[in-house]
Chains A and B, each alone.
Chain A
């Protein structure tokens, strides 16, 4: 049975990309002056990677399954963040209270609202904007970009153009201190949430019938239809789930940065594109590894040479593409 799991999670000849993560971490070790700093940066990198994974996973799966690249994905991230803000700010009494339960009681509706709104918007977007242009890549790119512009401007209309500040809940501020090492509490939460999302996705994809359909559909949706399944119906579900995840990612990202602005989705989209290109379009596992790599590189380089931080991720992408032109785990497409 374990062989099956491996085969489904990672093509079994292919552990090399997994090894990249500890490799980069270890590479950075001698470059960083103190061990505590290295630990802090590594955790920061993993946390950032997890959040990017949450935001990017929906996009890569949608592309793999539906052959649709939603350039407006960033808008769902932003909208998730803004919706959460609208819920959290009135509940400031709960979020600033020193009780974990009260904090969570405030965060939970915020997260659920963000995911619900982002998901609902995803549904409308898919049916109204994307469905008419299935298969026409040029129009898809144009129209999703247009959707992005309209969405971004609509956010201004509803929430105004200013940047909103969003402080973290009281119990999630600060760090755990282990000897000389300080580990931010929020980053730990981010890692936990990210791992939970990843585990849930793996479970869904590998242990359920729907997951089977999705995995097969990513490879060859025509064949899945020939086997008698109406895979178009699954498309919508995946798109909505991807949008909801983007909303979740947006909330987490907003709390991480403690600011919410209408450009935040666009800003993180570049990183998301880099991540899914590195991982291989359509591969959730690749997306996970790619996200962690990008997070780690961004933090290490951000510490060592801040000027080239974003550039370094683009270089990482180029290097990986030179090694594997289709990304770490290319998905076999018809």
Chain B
């Protein structure tokens, strides 16, 4: 099957609020799909629903052929989905080493893999035994991504990794993501930084008011400024 993740008619209610109002899109296997949209469009809710943190009230979510809409969060994670939330989810009181150890569910951390990660994020080696709470914002983000990479995962759900980061660090991130793309992992990336998204994305889906209003190839959208204006309210170049 060429689509790793399929969402069909997904609705999510949170209390009285109807956030996702029939989401339909697919994430093709391999490569990086970007989920774009304004604030409040429902992007984070989408990821959380896939992850089972919020239960979909209707619709189908298929991962690698099996329906995971009713699965519990641990079950979803065990199927090979990694999640990097907007808040990063770093355990501040635990050491960097322990954060990674926890993420390596199936046993001790693979040394080779760890070397690769150190290569991408040298800061993690420096702070190896120190509490993760001592890391800077950018370093925490790197740890969050490193945690998602510590073991091979089929799909990574990443929520706004560049939020609040300095441009230099974002450049570093781009490198890390490029490395990540070279592995067997499919990535679903939620972003508001269109520049970042354009550089890395292969396919794109745009969300508005709880629905997908556009999906297709990234290069097509990147070339079509009019579409961008319409969908995002800002042109690509302005939206750094």
Contacts and interface: CB of A to CB of B under 8 A. Distances in A.
Nearest to A331: B93
Interface stretch (A31-39, A139-147, A161-169, A210-218): A210-218
A4 B95 contact: yes
A226 B130 contact: no
Contacts of B74: 225, 228-231
**Most chain B beta carbons < 10 A, residue from A3, A215, A222, A227:** A227
Tell me the interface secondary structure of chain A in the complex: helix
Interface stretch (A5-13, A52-60, A303-311): A5-13
**Most chain B beta carbons < 10 A, residue from A215, A223, A225:** A223
A15 interface: no
B83 interface: yes
A127 interface: no
B97 interface: yes
B85 A228 contact: no
Given A219-B91, A220-B91, A334-B87, A226 B51 contact: yes
Contacts of A128: none
A1 interface: yes
A4 B101 CA distance: 14
Contacts of A19: none
A158 interface: no
A1 B129 CA distance: 7
B232 interface: no
Tell me the interface secondary structure of chain B in the complex: mixed
B80 to A, nearest CB: 9
B85 A226 contact: yes
A294 to B, nearest CB: 24
Interface string B192-232: 00000000000000000000000000000000000000000
B93 A215 contact: yes
B233 interface: no
B122 interface: no
Contacts of B53: 222, 225-226
Contact of B102 (A3, A7, A227, A230): A227
Contacts of A231: 74
Interface in A181-229: 212-213, 215-216, 219-220, 222-229
Given A1-B129, A332-B133, A225 B77 contact: yes
A330 B211 CA distance: 40
Contacts of A226: 51, 53, 73, 77, 83, 85, 89
Nearest to A225: B73
Contacts, number: 75
Interface residues on A, range: 20 to 34
Contacts of A3: 129-130
Contacts of B102: 212-213, 216, 224, 227
Given A4-B129, A212-B94, A219-B92, A227 B77 contact: yes
A223 B89 contact: yes
B89 A215 contact: no
B103 interface: yes
B89 A7 contact: no
A227 B103 contact: yes
Interface string B65-82: 000000011100110000
Contacts of A222: 53, 73, 89
A213 B93 CA distance: 12
B105 interface: yes
A306 to B, nearest CB: 40
B93 A219 contact: yes
A226 B51 CA distance: 7
B98 interface: yes
Interface string A298-334: 0000000000000000000000000000000001101
B95 A216 contact: no
B87 A227 contact: no
B59 interface: no
Which 8 A-B pairs give the minimum distances between C-beta atoms?
Answer: A228-B77, A223-B89, A225-B73, A4-B129, A226-B83, A230-B74, A216-B91, A7-B131
24 contacts: A3-B129, A3-B130, A7-B131, A8-B98, A212-B98, A213-B102, A215-B91, A216-B94, A219-B94, A222-B53, A223-B89, A224-B102, A225-B74, A225-B77, A226-B53, A226-B73, A226-B77, A226-B85, A226-B89, A227-B102, A227-B147, A228-B77, A228-B78, A331-B93
Interface of A: 1, 3-4, 7-8, 11-12, 212-213, 215-216, 219-220, 222-231, 331-332, 334
Given A4-B95, A212-B102, 6 more contacts: A8-B95, A212-B98, A219-B92, A223-B91, A225-B72, A230-B74
Interface of B: 51, 53, 72-74, 77-78, 83, 85, 87, 89, 91-95, 97-98, 101-103, 105, 129-131, 133, 147
